[in-house]
Structure 1
Amino acid sequence: MKKALLAAVIAPLFMMPAHADEESKGGCGFEDNAQGGLFATCDQQEEKKEVILTGELGFDDLRQQPGYDDNFASYQPDATLVAALQKITTPTELVVIVGTWCPDCHRETPRLAKILEQANNPHISVKYIGIDRSRTDPEGLAAAYDFQRIPTVLVHQGGEEVGRIVESPEVTLEHDLFKILHAR
């Protein structure tokens, strides 16, 4: 009797979709579920025709995502901050962990690309790593980084992380990137 009652109470938990409580969360992140695993959370409903690209992604891969070109074209970075980013001479690598299924990534990734295009600084490189809803990619590239929410922009100089922008910037991407790079 106890086993049947326990099974009746627990069984619905296993049948619930992994994203059942997404409406109560903000942005795109990862939460522990009752079974000890992770599931992705996203509070927006933009995901109807999702395409999940994983591993190292190129600019053309990202441009094919919904709204990318529109968000890229419409974003107008602060010209003063872009000019300051043009003057960076220390080799800087940005590692951007994205989910092509994530609305926050659809918004922030094109903006970052626009900033970097306008800065046109050969000392700043970018690597995009696409992950699936379980925070993984086939090559295990994302596993090298500690992140809980996406997009996560990790800023590296001299082989060390000097800062990061998680999910959305405090002010703007160009402002936050400038702040990270000039705090050293």
Structure 2
Amino acid sequence: MKKTTFLLILCMLSFCGCKSVKPVAETGPDRLLAPWPVPDLEPTGTDYSDQTTWVLGYFNLDRLKREPHSVWFTKGYDEYQFKTDVLNKLLEINKDDIVIKIVMGTWCPDSRREVPRFMKVLDMWQFPLAKVTFIGVDNAKMSPVGEYNKLDIQRVPTFIIYKNNIEKGRIIENPATSLEQDMVNILTRNE
């Protein structure tokens, strides 16, 4: 009887504990990646893939200057080295009829890198913050903003530059040259 009970328990344990886990990819001959998604942790320990950190819909710049976002925003803003010669060209452009929409995801590393840099360029250009609209999206690039679908956002961040209420161009995800040069190129096109 004891032998039968022992065999029964042994069989149950072997079936319960045999869940095999295959690694997602190899990083080298001796190291494997975890078989689950690795959170997007900052040095502060903040997991920006956690939905509780996401900023959705319309928001203002002050939201990015508060925790938990102030860490990456301040660092990116302070460390960005803009090109002075290109900024001087930007300073020659009339800002009166220009408005900008910034569509971003606080969960997105590209947004966390480019938005602070873009804001530094706007500050150096002395562009009025009142003419900048911020729209936060989730990781499916959706936002609870009316008529948002008309913006046709595929990647973030997307910086949409309008002149006289007509879209002049976009900087999508990463600048082609630099943020300031891309802005000059967009705003001086066909002029």
TM normalised by structure 1 equals 0.70
Partner amino acid, structure 1, of 2:47 = K
Residue among 155, 178, 187 paired with 1:181: 187
Q: Equivalent residues in 2 for 1:1-184 (5 A)?
A: 45-46=40-41, 49-50=47-48, 51-64=53-66, 65=69, 66-89=71-94, 90-122=96-128, 125-140=131-146, 142-184=148-190
**Structure-1 separation of matches of 2:181 and 2:154:** 22
Q: State which structure, 1 or 2, has the greater radius of gyration over its C-alpha atoms.
A: 2
SS at match of 2:100: strand
Match of 1:14 in 2: none
Matched-pair contact (CA < 8 Å) for 1:84–1:178: yes
**Structure-1 separation of matches of 2:40 and 2:129:** 38
What are the ranges of 5 or more consecutive residues in structure 2 without an aligned counterpart? 1-23, 25-37
Q: If each structure's strand is expressed as a fraction of its own residues, which one has the higher value?
A: 1
**Structure-2 separation of matches of 1:97 and 1:157:** 17
Greater Cα shift, 118-127 or 168-177: 118-127
Q: CA deviation at 1:71?
A: 0.7
**Structure-1 separation of matches of 2:99 and 2:162:** 5
Moved over 4 A (4+): none
SS at match of 1:80: helix
What are the ranges of 5 or more consecutive residues in structure 1 without an aligned counterpart? 1-20, 22-42
**Structure-2 separation of matches of 1:139 and 1:128:** 11
TM normalised by structure 2 equals 0.67
Matched-pair contact (CA < 8 Å) for 2:57–2:144: yes
**Structure-2 separation of matches of 1:52 and 1:124:** 23
Partner amino acid, structure 1, of 2:76 = N
SS at match of 2:81: coil
Matched-pair contact (CA < 8 Å) for 1:91–1:124: no
**Structure-2 separation of matches of 1:141 and 1:131:** 14
Q: CA deviation at 1:134?
A: 2.6
Matched-pair contact (CA < 8 Å) for 1:95–1:153: yes
Matched-pair contact (CA < 8 Å) for 1:91–1:123: no
Matched-pair contact (CA < 8 Å) for 1:156–1:163: yes
Greater Cα shift, 126-135 or 101-110: 126-135
**Structure-2 separation of matches of 1:157 and 1:44:** 39
